[in-house]
A and B are shown apart, each in its own frame.
Chain A
Amino acid sequence: MEKPKHTMRYREELISKENEMNKKIKDALADIVGENNLTDDLIDLVSYSYDGSQHRNRPMCAVWPETVEQIAELLVLANREHLPIIPRGAGTGLSGMAVAARGGVVLDLCRINQILDISIPDRLAVVQPGVVYADLENALAPHGFFFPPDPASGKVSTLGGNVATNAGGLKGAKYGTTRDYVLGLQVILPDGRIMRTGSKTMKSVSGYDLTRLFVGSEGTLGVITEITLKINPKPTATSTALATFEKLEDAGRAVSEMMHCGIIPSALEILGRHTILAINQNTDLNLPEVDAMILVETDGYTHAETDYQMKKVVDVFNENHTKEIKQAGSKNEATALWAARKSAYGVLARIKTHFVLEDVTVPMAHIADLLRGVESIAKRHELQIATFGHAGDGNLHPQILYDGYNPDEVERVEAACSDLFQLAVDLGGTLTGEHGIGLSKAAYMSMEHDPVAMDVMRALKQSFDPNNILNPGKMDLDTQGDV
């Protein structure tokens, strides 16, 4: 039915008023960052609508600030106008954290990208948020140092993004995640005030740990503009082995018993049966079709040291009925053993039009329970779910493959995710080990966190950002009356 004309006119007037307002705001933003550093071109708006997840929404515009002062001014303006600001790094996140859920302004920080200091005597590096992880790695290499978290997206992801999402990676078991290395920050609060947290010291118990509060805060509390990172001397030797298990239970037990053997591997990765089958169907790697494969790496400074650790690991595998163990005798052989694990994400990603890559994490003794639970969820919802991940820190990646153009399948994926989160929580685990809450898991926050914890989180958000301008809609932090 055709709408009455006056309603149409009213709507048009509203839209034109909104456009006029947006124009004014854009002009004010451009006054701060310069005309060339603001865009509302369609090509930019489309590209800033996405990150690495299935979420998307158009921002009103995007800005490329060049100085910390410009960011402070932008926030003052946004706070006054109640304008959503979405800080963004490389946009590789997997849970919609950089998607402008309520429109607003994407704050692309990639052009604030200087390494400000590398101080080996102080064992630290000071960087701006737009520095790419790999660029810091390259800069540290001549000193024999590295920044350990090693996120899979490290070639592109920015350190600002790593800190804001508390990124983790393959080396989590031994080296922890980004959080364990952030000594201090410079942050701009929504009212434009500039704050320094932490210190340049290896230890500090001075006041509340504001640094940690910002690590993993997903851009909801302030804009991080400088980061002081602790760095490590880089181990120079590694040993690598790959073990196969006919039975999932044996693989699970091998992982938990590893913790008794007195060493912690630098990588302990697991591939489940469905991942192995998918890799075989789509590559010529020709893997043994078993319940589970475990890839393990030990590191140190001499081969005697890494071989000693590997022997301990191999003993544990043997005690748990491993079918076969391959040990790398050279760098090339190690690369070949890593091939299956490294190809998993890409191989799985291309099987169907869409996928969700989850990152539920459980206490390590429950790895086998989690894998088995995922299989029954897949069966229950008639979905293809392939699992791989970081057994060494209990963090698995069930990758759900589906056709996003089929509404029925989309619905089943949502139900499966909910079941998966419940399973992890029931096993004493968490919704997310390294990808963050963002939009994907916002609705499940209360599944993991009790009402008191949710209250405290919302109160913190309210106290830092009373107008809810910073990355609104994420982490289920909105309180009543928000925009």
Chain B
Amino acid sequence: MEAKYDFARKYRKQILQCSKCGFCQAVCPVYGTTLRPALNARGKMLLLKEVMDGEIPLDDALIETLFQCTTCANCFENCPSSVNVPEIIKQVRKDMVHIGSCHPAFEGMNAVLKKQTNIYGEDVPEDFERVRNKKAEYVYFIGCVGSYREDETTMTTLDLLDRLKVDFTLINEVCCSGVLEDVGYRINKSLAEKNTDQILATDAKCVITGCPYCWRTFNNRPEYGKLKDSGIEILHITQFLQNVDLAVQTDQRVTYHDPCDLGRHCGLYEAPRTTIRKMAPNFVEMPHSHENALCCGAGGGVRGAFAKNSIAMARRRLIEAEAIDADIVLTDCNSCIHNLSNAKLRKQSFKICTTTELIHTLIKEQDVQET
């Protein structure tokens, strides 16, 4: 019998491979927050199995769980049967959108990106006091969160790049639109083309992204293939910084939160740590780090669609920072920064910022001491 949906055509074998052991329950951030097994990866695979077997329909009744996955991939990392749940979820969301069953928040995101240049639908781009679209060695690509929500963070990064005398330019960037692939839609080709053309026009040899998701998108999506084909290197800011001599230090107790997009999805664990260890000898890991890191709860569209649970996931992460008495929680993803900052309780006295922000602060402090 010909399968009705693409998810079944592509992933039937994997879904049946789920042995129902439930080990994902130990690591699923959505389950950890809600203690509701239907929202765990196993619950999702069981539903899809019943859909494939024609026992239940694929419809609105399944939105609450199938659209509530941060795609953090911790389940995949720990699955004895190697079921790639995030990829399956991304595909089934496309099938659901196709039949008209979609979470309104995601429908909204897609609609916004058809008209506007960023996921927030903001009309006026943030002014970062820099000339855009000039010829330069590097392009710094900020990303939507860094442009419209965490603009302070972005400002410090740009100042740092200036101070390091990096020959860079900003472009009139638009959303990379990679996230649409996660929430049931397709990447927006016209947006991708706008970004690619502008980057190429700068004659840059390298694009540095502030956002891990943009970095993944530029590296992996064929819509951005022109960049690599033209010999342009694509670096995340943490990769760029690891080779820079910073000559600043702090004796504060610093920890690092691995963003899923850098860590589990791309295996980038050491670059940020190399930089951090150089300036913070009192570096400590949280109980869960590297491939076991807890998710901040923002990914996969969950922050937009299920805000309350998303914040609760971030709170769970911050409990770990509290447990190790951290003074500073670093992370190099603006989405993580945004969600963790929103979740921070007043009694939690640690600071949450990006590695670049910390470097910037330390350099400024040094300047003050020297004068």
Interface residues of A (CB under 8 A from B): 41-44, 46-53, 64, 90-92, 108, 110-111, 132, 134, 153, 155-156, 343, 345-346, 349-350, 353-355
Instruction: Point out which of A53, A343, A353 has the most chain B C-beta atoms below 10 A from its C-beta.
Output: A353
Q: Contacts A46-B46, A48-B37 given: A92-B81 contact, CB under 8 Å? A: no
Q: CB of B19 within 8 A of chain A?
A: yes
Q: How far is the CA of A50 from the CA of B22 in the complex (A)?
A: 10
CB distance A355 to B19 under 8 Å? Answer: yes
Given A43-B47, A43-B62, A46-B43: A350 touches B56 (CB 8 Å cut-off): no
Q: How far is the CB of A65 from chain B (nearest CB, A)?
A: 12
The 7 A-B pairs at the shortest CB distance, nearest first, are namely A346-B80, A47-B43, A349-B19, A155-B26, A47-B38, A43-B38, A353-B16
Complex Cα spacing A64 to B39, Å: 15
Known A-B contacts A346-B80, A349-B17; A52 and B43 likewise in contact (beta carbons under 8 Å): no
* A contact residues around B62 at 8 Å (CB): 42-43
New A-B pairs, 17, CB < 8 Å, besides A110-B37, A349-B19, A349-B81: A41-B64, A42-B61, A43-B38, A43-B47, A43-B64, A46-B46, A46-B47, A46-B56, A47-B42, A47-B46, A48-B37, A49-B46, A53-B20, A346-B79, A349-B17, A350-B82, A354-B16
**A214–B56 CA distance with the chains assembled, in angstroms:** 37
Q: Does the CB pair B35–A345 fall under 8 Å?
A: no
With CB as the reference atom, state the residue of chain A lying closest to B68.
Answer: A43
In chain B, what residue has the closest Cβ to A342?
Answer: B80
Show 11 residue pairs from A and B whose CB-CB distance is below 8 angstroms, ordered by the A residue: A43-B39, A47-B43, A47-B46, A47-B47, A50-B46, A92-B21, A110-B35, A156-B26, A345-B80, A346-B79, A346-B81
CA distance A156 to B38 in the complex (A): 15
Given contacts A43-B43, A46-B46, A350-B81, contact A111 B23 (CB under 8 A): no
Q: Does B188 contact A (CB under 8 A)?
A: no
Which A-chain residue is minimally distant from B62 (CB atoms)? A43
Minimum Cβ distance to chain A for residue B143 (Å): 33
Q: B289 contacts which chain A residues (CB < 8 A)?
A: none
- Which of A46, A52, A353 makes the CB contact (< 8 A) with B38? A46
8 Å CB contact of A46 from B23, B36, B50, B81? B50
Q: Among residues 266 to 321 in chain B, which have CB atoms less than 8 Å away from a CB atom of chain A?
A: none
Bound-state Cα–Cα, A42 to B43, Å: 11
How close is A392's CB to chain B, nearest CB, in angstroms?
A: 22
Question: In angstroms, how far is the closest chain A Cβ from the Cβ of B46?
Answer: 6
> Are B47 and A346 in contact, with the CB atoms below 8 A?
no
**When the two chains form their complex, are residues A92 and B22 in contact, meaning their CB atoms are under 8 A apart?**
yes
Name the residue of chain A whose CB is nearest to the CB of B80.
A346
- Option from A44, A90, A91 in Cβ contact (under 8 Å) with B36: A44
Question: Which chain B residue lies CB-closest to A354?
Answer: B16
* Interface of chain B residues 1 through 49 with chain A (CB within 8 A): 16-17, 19-23, 25-26, 35-40, 42-43, 46-47
Chain A positions within 8 Å of B80 at CB level: 343, 345-346, 349
CA distance A43 to B64 in the complex (A): 8
- Tell me if B65 is interfacial: C-beta within 8 Å of chain A: yes
- The verdict on A52 contacting B26 (CB below 8 Å), with A42-B56, A46-B50, A349-B80 known, is no
Give CA–CA (A155, B16) in the complex, Å: 23
Shortest beta-carbon distance from A27 to chain B in Å = 21
In the bound complex, do residue B20 and residue A51 qualify as a contact, i.e. CB atoms below 8 Å apart? yes
A48: chain B residues within 8 A (beta carbon): 37-38
Smallest CB separation, B129 vs chain A (Å): 49
Measured CA separation A350–B82 after assembly (Å)? 8
Q: Residues of B within 8 Å of A, CB-based: how many?
A: 29
A132 (CB) vs chain B CBs: closest residue:
B26
In angstroms, how far is the closest chain B Cβ from the Cβ of A450?
34
Contacts of B38 in A (CB 8 A): 41, 43-44, 46-48
B37 touches A52 (CB 8 A): no
Question: Residue of A at shortest CB range from B26?
Answer: A155
Q: Tell me which residues across on chain A come within 8 A of B23, comparing CB atoms.
A: 92, 153, 155-156
Question: What A residues does B50 contact at CB under 8 A?
Answer: 46
Shortest C-beta distance, A212 to chain B (Å), equals 27
Interface residues of B in 94-128 (CB under 8 A from A): none
A192 to chain B, nearest CB (A): 25
In the bound complex, CA of A90 to CA of B22 (Å): 8
Closest residue of A by beta carbon distance from B22 = A92
- For the complex, give the distance between the alpha carbons of A64 and B23 in Å: 21
**A354 to B37 Cα, complex, angstroms:** 22
Q: When chains A and B are docked, how far (Å) is the Cα of A355 from the Cα of B81?
A: 12
C-alpha gap A64/B36 in the complex (Å) = 9
Question: In the complex the two chains form, what is the Cα distance from A156 to B81 in whole Å?
Answer: 16
Looking across the interface, which residue of chain B has its beta carbon closest to that of A54? B20
Q: Are A111 and B35 in contact (CB under 8 A)?
A: yes
Out of A47, A134, A350, A355, name the residue touching B37 (CB < 8 Å). Answer: A47
Asked whether, in the complex, the Cβ of B20 is within 8 Å of the Cβ of A50, the reply is: yes
Please, how many angstroms separate the alpha-carbon atoms of A100 and B62 in the complex?
A: 22
- Note all chain B residues with C-beta closer than 8 A to A44: 36-38
Which of B61, B79, B81 is the one whose CB lies under 8 Å from A41? B61
Q: Which residue of A lies closest to B13 (CB)?
A: A353
- In the bound complex, residues from chain A placing their C-beta under 8 Å from that of B20 are 50-53
Name which of B36, B37, B50, B81 has the most chain A CB atoms within 10 A of its CB.
Answer: B37
Contact check, B21 vs A43: say whether CB atoms are below 8 A apart: no
Docked complex Cα distance between A205 and B26 (Å): 38
Asked if A156 meets B35 with Cβ closer than 8 Å, knowing A345-B80, A346-B80, A349-B81, the reply is no
Chain B residues with CB under 8 A of A42: 56, 61-62
User: Closest chain B residue to A135 by CB distance?
Assistant: B26
Known: A42-B61, A43-B65, A46-B50. Is A134-B35 also a contact (CB below 8 A)? no
**Interfacial chain B residues near A49, Cβ < 8 Å:** 46
Contacts of B47 in A (CB 8 A): 43, 46-47
Collect the chain A residues with CB atoms within 8 Å of residue B82's CB.
346, 350
In the bound complex, residues from chain A placing their C-beta under 8 Å from that of B79 are 346
Complex Cα distance, B19 from A155, in Å, reads: 16
Nearest Cβ on chain B to A121's Cβ, whole angstroms: 25
Docked-complex contact B25 and A90, CB < 8 angstroms: yes
Q: Which residues of chain A come closer than 8 Å to B37, judged between CB atoms?
A: 44, 47-48, 91, 108, 110
Interface string of B58-87 (1 = CB under 8 A from A): 000110110000000000000111100000
A-side contacts of B40, CB under 8 Å: 47
> Complex: how many Å from CA A42 to CA B60?
11
Closest to B14 in A: A350
Chain A residues, CB < 8 A from B21: 52, 92, 153, 345, 349
CB closest residue in chain A, given B59 = A42
The reply to whether B19 and A52 form a contact with Cβ atoms under 8 Å apart is yes
A107 to B243: give the CA distance in the assembly, Å. Answer: 56
Smallest Cβ-Cβ distance to B65: which chain A residue: A43
A41 to B81, CA, bound (A): 28
Q: Which of A44, A108, A156, A343 has the most CB of B within 10 A?
A: A156
Closest Cβ–Cβ distance, residue B245 to chain A (whole Å): 33
A64 to B47, CA, bound (A): 21
Instruction: Give the residues in chain B near A51, CB-CB below 8 Å.
Output: 20, 22
Shortest Cβ distance from B62 into chain A, in angstroms? 6
Residues of the B chain whose Cβ atoms lie less than 8 Å from the Cβ of A153: 21-23
Chain B positions within 8 Å of A41 at CB level: 38, 61, 64
CA distance A345 to B17 in the complex (A): 12
Contacts of B46 in A (CB 8 A): 46-47, 49-50
Chain A residues within an 8 Å CB radius of B26: 132, 134, 155-156
Residues on A with C-beta less than 8 A from B61 are 41-43
Chain B: CB-nearest residue to A282: B82
- Chain B, Cβ-Cβ closest to A111: B35
Task: Please indicate the chain B residues that have their CB under 8 angstroms from the CB of A64 in the complex.
Answer: 35
Given contacts A349-B17, A350-B81, contact A52 B35 (CB under 8 A): no
